[in-house]
């Protein structure tokens, strides 16, 4: 399965044409614009339709019971995941991530960025949506716990950011983003480029299986409405094997792959063996 | 006798009540701040206020002071009684508790245990429980079942002093204690508040506010009442008569004895080579009688309770002796190797007292920004010596989960860790409470079938080492 996906991304790259898969979402107009743009520009990871889609959620972004509630509750899982990937001392501290520079790629309104800043990390959040960067920039003034450690937000893409910085961050995080980008290979490559050798890179994303199609798109978006409808396109989902392949090709060694499950009764996220729905990956950049 | 028993069982059933105490006081964070502004004697805002400085509340303060992630929290402990200076006297206090290995481990990790050891404690290495209505018994030996002692008998005030001593040596300026604190009422936050805040009003007009309020105020918890949660409770119509006893002969005295009388269990807990402590649970009227008896008659009554032959049912005799011979045949201990309890020479003057016994279970241990620990959340019959051990378990889990939450950058009142606290503790406490309740119910009747079943059950349990191990390990966690 992944070979097919890979061909797709290689095709994407070499011919610089867009490999269009029939889509369920009638967002053709913006998508056409984007296609035109891309033939003239150099490569981009931005899928304008997705970014526009998320920009529309800006007003509800920080409502813990609103449409973005799953991202809020997911912090309970992913903040410790990133923390334990970056520090593993027996002596626990209140600010375990202090002195750590972290890039949050596709930070959106900053839910994860703030969660990491609360642990003392110096966070740079980047996002392709100008609206969401504005939301994040406003919200960082709310929580007194990060008053002296506010994340820095930039409206940019990771490939542009990678042109300016290299080998800088102790940690790079892309949580629930890679399934929304074009050209996943360039995305991974650019992320790794900004990471220090020895630094850790973290992804969380849905798997591409029938089960995830059913659970994430059908149940999550259409039936239970935990996720805004139209947020995901199944064809863009990436499997753990594919992502591992992309990381290893970019000089990273995958250290951990966990299944991620959500319990709709308790409203809680958990790590498990079960990777069919969603997963989390941690890799280290080799020198 | 028969009808009497049935009546008592029924009475207990009907007396059992579910009370939803007072409607939750509603207030918003604004209310709290406006209130604190309008009253001139607003005394300060804290991260944590612990209401109740009994053994459980004080050990929580100590645990917070000692945890590297929690030691910078601003904590206020409010205790209603005055600050008594403690002096270890040669005579023992009549209030003692049996502490299990888990409590010892917690207290060692808090550096409290060394103070207990420096004062006094008595290890329990054997336990013998036997039935007055039949010949069967069950024995627990620490060597066979655990690598360590079964339990430790410690006086309540020794324990409390040890905790407070460590708390003061910890020199954590963030922990403040107010004694003689008369709490008049609470204002608790609303369900929807994202950053809950509670306020505590004192009888003298002072008010305090806090993010996290801990109810450690014992079985009649006012915090629990303010939460307006369901509380399932009943009185046993029984009292625990306590006293300090002098033994007729000096001995090693490391066995805890418990005999089940039809009126309830009588327990003799070792204090030192010459003295033991009594916990005698019996019906309220009997208990009051026992307190009034002259000392020599009280001792006679007690020796009677330990030694008296109760009328045996021949049917039961036949079955238990048959079970015992069967156990012997398959090579298991038949439970006839019974040791004899010490005989009591006299009771220490003025050491007798009686305490009401009851069952209580709060269906919720938490609310937004509020948590209950210790007897405020659960109350049990002392027959298994579990009460305060369950409370110390609450302290251990609460500190651990709160510390984890802080390490993950969560708010101190985050519903995630609080929800975990409730479910972890209820999963341990409720089955323990039910087990104790069941024991109490099957032993306070002398109906023939019940006696038969419990006797044979006890014989077989006693014979099966793994089962005993299981019981012991649950009782120590
Ligand atoms: C006869 C008997 C024998 C027992 N034996 C054992 C045993 O062997 N092993 C065992 O583990 N347990 C035993 N227990 C149970 C044990 O004593 C309790 O579980 C334990 O004392 C509970 O501690 P606590 O701190 O939760 O509550 P408490 O000890 O009740 O402390 C509550 C504190 O809160 C304070 N307070 C209450 N209301 C207010 C207010 N409004 N304002 C300010 N302060 C307030 C009180 O002054 C008190 O100091 C026994 C109990 C009895 C009655
Ligand atoms: C599901 S949200 C995840 C937000 C955030 N990571 C979180 O977990 O809270 C996906 C985000 O990725 C952003 N995004 C999508 N494609 C992007 C790209 N190519 N470069 C940068 N950001 C992108 C979107 O604007 C959106 O904010």
Q: Is B120 strand, coil or helix?
A: coil
Nearest to A92 among B69, B194, B410 (CB): B69
Which residue has tokens 């409470």? B433
> What pLDDT sits at residue A225?
85
Question: Which residue, B427, B151, B155, is CA-closest to B275?
Answer: B155
Residue A112 placed within a domain: yes
Q: How many CA atoms lie within 13 A of B290 on its CB side?
A: 30
Q: pLDDT at residue B122 above 70?
A: yes
- Best to test chain B binding among A63, A94, A263 (most B CBs inside 10 Å): A94
Give the residue carrying structure tokens 């800088």. A168
Q: Please check the confidence at residue B311 and state whether its pLDDT lies above 50.
A: yes
Strand partners, B178: B78
Residue B59 · residue B110 · CB < 8 Å: yes
Q: Ligand 2 within 6 A of A27 CB?
A: no
The boundaries of the domain holding residue B223 are 2-475
Predicted local confidence at residue B7, as pLDDT: 46
Report the distance separating Cα B407 and Cα B416, nearest Å: 13
DSSP string of B52-72, one letter each residue: --SHHHHHHHHHHHHSTTTTT
Q: Which atom of ligand 1 is nearest to the CA of B389?
A: 11
Atom of ligand 2 nearest to the CA of A50: 15
Cα separation of B39 and B35, whole Å?
Answer: 6
Secondary structure in 3-state letters for chain A: CHHHHHHHHHHHHHHCCCCCCCCCCCCHHHHHHHHHHHHHCCCCCCCHHHHHHHHCCHHHCCCCCCCCHHHHHHHHHHHHHHHHHHCCCCCCCCCCCCCCEEEEECCCCCHHHHHHHCCCCEEEEEECCHHHHHHHHHHCCCCHHHCCCCCEEEECCHHHHHHHCCCCEEEEEEECCHHHCCCHHHHHHHHHHHEEEEEEEEEEEECCCHHHHHHHHHHHHHHCCCCCCCCCCHHHCCCHHHHHHHHHHCCEEEEEEEEEEEECCCCEEEEECCCCCEEEEEEEECC
Structure tokens at B43: 């005394």
Chain A residues whose beta carbon lies within 8 Å of the beta carbon of residue B410: 76
The pLDDT of residue B452 is above 70: no
List CB contacts (< 8 A) between B418 and chain A.
none
Q: Which of A90, A240, A265, A251 is nearest to A178 (CA)?
A: A240
- The CATH number given to whatever domain includes residue A266 is 3.40.50.150
Which three-class secondary structure string do you get for B140-161?
EEHHHHCCCCCEEEEEHHHHHH
- State the total domains in chain A: 1
Judge whether A171 is annotated as a binding position: no
Determine what percent of chain B is predicted with pLDDT higher than 90: 57
Say whether A84 counts as a known binding-site residue: no
Task: Tell me the pLDDT tens digit for each residue of B55-104.
Answer: 999 999 999 999 999 999 999 999 999 998 899 999 999 999 999 999 99
**Tens digit of pLDDT for each residue in B22-60?**
444 433 333 444 444 445 699 999 999 999 999 999 999
pLDDT class of B262 with cuts at 50, 70, 90: confident
CA separation for the pair B282, B354 (Å, rounded): 10
| B182 Cα: distance to centroid of ligand 2 (angstroms) | 54
**Helix ranges, B259-308 (H):** 284-292, 295-307
* Contact state of A94 with B416 under an 8 Å Cβ cutoff: no
Please give, rounded to a whole number of angstroms, the shortest distance from the CA of B198 to a CA of chain A. 19
User: Which among A17, A27, A21, A87 is positioned nearest to A52, based on CA atoms?
Assistant: A27
**Tally of domains within chain B:** 1
Which ligand lies nearest to the CA atom of residue B240 in the structure?
Answer: 1
At residue B136, the pLDDT reads 65
Write the DSSP symbol of residue B386: -
- Give the residue, B17 or B139, on which the prediction is more confident: B139
Kindly determine whether residue B409 and residue A64, on different chains, have CB atoms separated by under 8 Å.
no
* A179 labeled binding residue: yes
Query: Is the minimum distance from the CB of A132 to ligand 2 under 6 angstroms?
Result: yes
Residue A221 belongs to some domain of the structure: yes
> What's the pLDDT tens digit per position in B328-348?
776 666 655 667 788 899 999
Six token digits for residue B210:
């806090």
> Which element (helix H / strand E) includes B127?
strand B126-131
Token pair 């298991």: residue: B332
Q: pLDDT at position B476, please? A: 57
Lowest mean pLDDT among A160-169, A175-184, B258-267, B446-455: B446-455
B431 exposure class (CB count in 10 Å sphere: 0-12, 13-18, 19+): exposed
Residues of B in contact with A116 (CB under 8 A): 409
Helices A48-55, A28-40: inter-axial angle, 10-degree rounding: 130
Pick A79's closest partner by Cβ from B68, B69, B409.
B409
B433 membership: H or E segment, kind and range: helix B415-443
Rounded to 5 degrees, φ, ψ at B129 are -120, 125
The SS3 call for residue B181 is coil
Distance B427 CA to ligand 1 centre (A): 22
Does the pLDDT at position B275 exceed 70?
A: yes
B435 band by pLDDT with thresholds 50, 70 and 90: confident
Residues of A with CB under 8 A from a CB of B: 64, 76, 79-80, 83, 91-94, 96, 115-116, 118-119, 145, 268
Q: 3-state class of B35 per DSSP?
A: helix
Query: Does A61 fall in a domain?
Result: yes
Is the Cβ–Cβ distance between A178 and A47 less than 8 Å? no
- Inspect the interface and report whether the beta carbons of B406 and A94 lie closer than 8 Å: yes
Q: Which residues of B fall within a CB distance of 8 Å from A100?
A: none
Task: List, for chain A, all residue ranges whose pLDDT scores fall below the cut of 70.
Answer: 1-42
* Listed residue (B472, B452, B447) closest to B462, CA to CA: B472
Whether residues A79 and B408 touch (CB distance < 8 A) is answered with yes
B403 in Cβ contact with B60 (< 8 Å): no
Calculate mean pLDDT across residues B279-294.
94
Over range B438-455, report the average pLDDT.
Answer: 68
Q: How far is CA A10 from CA A34, A174, A254, in A?
A: 19, 22, 22
Nearest C-alpha of chain A: how many angstroms from B167? 21
Give CA separation, A271 vs A78, B12, B205, B420, in Å: 10, 46, 50, 16
Terminal alpha carbon distance of chain B? 38
| Residue A239 belongs to a domain | yes
- Spacing, Cα B89 to ligand 2 middle (Å): 69
- Structure token digits, residue B346: 């006299």
Kindly list the residues from chain A whose CB atom is less than 8 angstroms away from the CB atom of residue B424. Answer: none
- Taking an 8 Å cut-off on Cβ atoms, the answer to whether B69 and A96 are in contact is no
Cα–Cα distance, B323 to A97 (Å, whole number): 65
pTM above 0.90, yes or no: no
Cβ-proximal residues to A282 (8 Å cutoff; 6+ apart), any chain: A81, A85, A200, A201, A202, A254, A255, A256, A257
Domain that holds residue A271: 30-87+94-285
Q: Collapsing DSSP states into helix, strand and coil, what is residue B15? A: helix
The response to whether A138 counts as a known ligand-binding position is no
For residue A132, what are the CA distances in angstroms to A53, A110, A154? 11, 8, 10
- According to the annotation, is A255 in a ligand binding site? no
Q: Going by CA atoms, what residue is nearest to atom 8 of ligand 2?
A: A175
Rounded Cα gap, residues B134 and B455, in angstroms: 7
From chain B, the residues in CB contact with A93 under 8 A are: 68-69, 407
Angle (nearest 5°) at CA B277 between B272 and B283: 170
Backbone φ and ψ of B243, nearest 5° = -170, 160
- Predicted confidence at residue B145, as pLDDT, reads 58
- Is residue B3 scored above 60 in pLDDT? no
- C-alpha distances (whole Å) from A169 to each of A129, A264, B259, B260 are 22, 35, 69, 69
Q: What mean pLDDT value characterizes chain B? A: 84
The CATH number for B158's domain is 3.50.50.60
- Give the CB-side neighbour count of residue A263, counting CA atoms within 13 A: 9
Region class of A32: left (phi > 0), else alpha (psi between -120 and 50), else beta? alpha
At B445 the pLDDT is: 65
Of A271, A238, A252, A255, residue with least CA distance to A6: A238
Contact B299, B347 (CB under 8 A): yes
Q: Within a domain: residue A130?
A: yes
A287 is in an annotated binding site: no
End-to-end, the C-alpha distance of chain A in Å comes to 31
Q: What pLDDT score was predicted for residue A38?
A: 38
Q: How close is the nearest chain B Cα to the Cα of A285, in Å?
A: 25
Which tokens hold the place of B32? 């709290």
Q: ipTM > 0.90?
A: no
Would you say the CB of residue A216 lies under 6 angstroms from ligand 2? Answer: no
Query: What's the DSSP call for residue B444?
Result: S
Residue A15 within any structural domain of the chain: no
Burial track B57-90 (b if 16+ CB lie within 10 A, e otherwise) = bbbbbbbbbbbebbeebbbbbbbbeeeeeeeeee
Give the helix ranges, DSSP H, for B67-155. Answer: 101-109, 113-118, 142-145
Q: What spacing in Å lies between the alpha carbon of B54 and ligand 1's midpoint?
A: 6
Indicate if ligand 2 lies below 6 Å from the C-beta of A71: yes
- Answer whether A94 sits within 8 Å of B407, measured CB to CB: yes
The answer to whether position A45 is within a domain reads: yes
């Amino acid at each position: 399965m992944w070979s097919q996906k890979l061909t797709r991304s290689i095709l994407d790259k070499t011919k610089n044409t867009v490999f269009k898969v029939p889509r369920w979402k009638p967002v053709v107009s913006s998508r056409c614009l984007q296609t035109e743009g891309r033939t003239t520009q150099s490569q981009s990871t931005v899928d304008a339709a997705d970014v526009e889609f998320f920009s529309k959620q800006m007003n509800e972004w920080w409502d813990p019971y609103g449409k973005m509630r799953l991202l809020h509750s997911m912090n309970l899982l992913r903040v410790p995941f990133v923390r334990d990937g970056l520090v593993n001392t027996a002596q626990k501290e209140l600010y375990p991530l202090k002195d750590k520079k972290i890039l949050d790629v596709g930070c959106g309104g900053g839910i994860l960025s703030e969660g990491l800043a609360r642990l003392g990390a110096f966070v740079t959040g980047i996002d392709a949506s100008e609206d969401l960067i504005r939301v994040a920039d406003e919200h960082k003034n709310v929580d007194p716990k990060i008053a002296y450690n506010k994340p820095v937000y930039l409206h940019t893409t990771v490939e542009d950011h990678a042109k300016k910085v290299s080998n800088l961050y102790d940690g790079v995080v892309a949580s629930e983003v890679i399934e929304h980008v074009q050209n996943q290979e360039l995305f991974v490559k650019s992320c790794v480029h900004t990471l220090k050798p020895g630094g850790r890179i973290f992804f969380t994303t849905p798997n591409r299986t029938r089960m995830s199609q059913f659970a994430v798109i059908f149940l999550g978006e259409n039936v239970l409405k935990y996720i805004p409808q139209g947020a995901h396109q199944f064809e863009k989902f990436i499997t753990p094997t594919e992502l591992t392949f992309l990381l290893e090709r970019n000089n990273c060694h995958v250290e951990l792959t966990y299944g991620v499950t959500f319990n709709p009764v308790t409203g809680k996220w958990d790590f498990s063996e079960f990777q069919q729905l969603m997963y989390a990956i941690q890799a280290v950049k080799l020198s | 006798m028969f009808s009497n028993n049935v009546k008592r069982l029924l009475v207990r059933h009907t007396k059992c009540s579910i009370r939803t105490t007072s409607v939750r006081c509603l207030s918003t964070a604004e209310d709290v701040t406006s209130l604190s502004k309008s009253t001139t004697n607003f005394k300060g805002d804290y991260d944590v206020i612990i209401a109740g400085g009994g053994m459980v509340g004080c050990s929580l303060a100590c645990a917070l002071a000692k945890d590297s992630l929690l030691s910078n929290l601003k904590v206020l402990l409010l205790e209603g009684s005055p600050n008594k200076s403690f002096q270890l006297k040669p005579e023992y206090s009549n209030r003692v508790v049996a502490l299990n290995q888990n409590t010892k481990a917690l207290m060692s990790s808090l550096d409290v245990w060394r103070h207990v050891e420096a004062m006094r404690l008595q290890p329990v290495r054997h336990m013998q429980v036997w039935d007055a209505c039949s010949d069967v018994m069950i024995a627990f030996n620490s060597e066979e079942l655990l690598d360590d002692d079964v339990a430790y008998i410690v006086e309540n005030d020794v324990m409390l002093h040890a905790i407070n001593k460590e708390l003061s040596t910890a020199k954590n300026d963030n922990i403040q204690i107010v004694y003689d604190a008369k709490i008049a009422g609470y204002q608790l936050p609303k369900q929807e508040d994202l950053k809950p805040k509670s306020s505590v009003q004192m009888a003298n007009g002072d008010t305090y506010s806090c993010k996290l309020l801990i109810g450690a105020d014992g079985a009649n918890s006012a915090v629990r009442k303010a939460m307006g949660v369901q509380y399932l409770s009943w009185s046993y119509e029984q009292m625990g008569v306590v006293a300090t006893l002098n033994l007729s002969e000096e001995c090693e005295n490391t066995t805890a004895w418990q005999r089940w009388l039809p009126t309830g269990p009588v327990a003799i807990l070792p204090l030192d080579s010459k003295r033991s402590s009594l916990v005698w649970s019996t019906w309220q009227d009997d208990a009051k009688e026992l307190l009034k008896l002259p000392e020599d008659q009280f001792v006679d009554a007690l020796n009677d309770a330990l030694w008296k032959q109760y009328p045996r049912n021949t049917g039961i005799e036949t079955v238990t002796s048959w079970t015992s011979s069967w156990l012997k045949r398959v090579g298991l201990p038949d439970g006839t190797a019974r040791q004899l309890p010490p005989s009591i020479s006299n009771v220490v003057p003025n050491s007798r007292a009686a305490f009401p016994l009851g069952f209580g279970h709060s269906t919720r241990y938490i609310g937004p920004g509020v948590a209950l620990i210790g007897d405020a959340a659960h109350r049990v019959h002392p027959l298994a010596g579990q009460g305060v051990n369950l409370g110390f378990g609450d302290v251990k889990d609460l500190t651990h989960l709160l510390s984890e939450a802080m390490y993950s950058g969560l708010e101190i009142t985050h519903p995630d860790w609080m929800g975990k606290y409730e479910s972890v503790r209820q999963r341990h406490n409720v089955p323990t409470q039910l087990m104790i309740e069941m024991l109490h119910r099957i032993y306070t009747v002398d109906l023939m079938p019940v006696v038969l079943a419990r006797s044979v059950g006890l014989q077989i349990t006693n014979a099966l080492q793994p089962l005993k191990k299981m019981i012991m390990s649950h009782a120590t966690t």
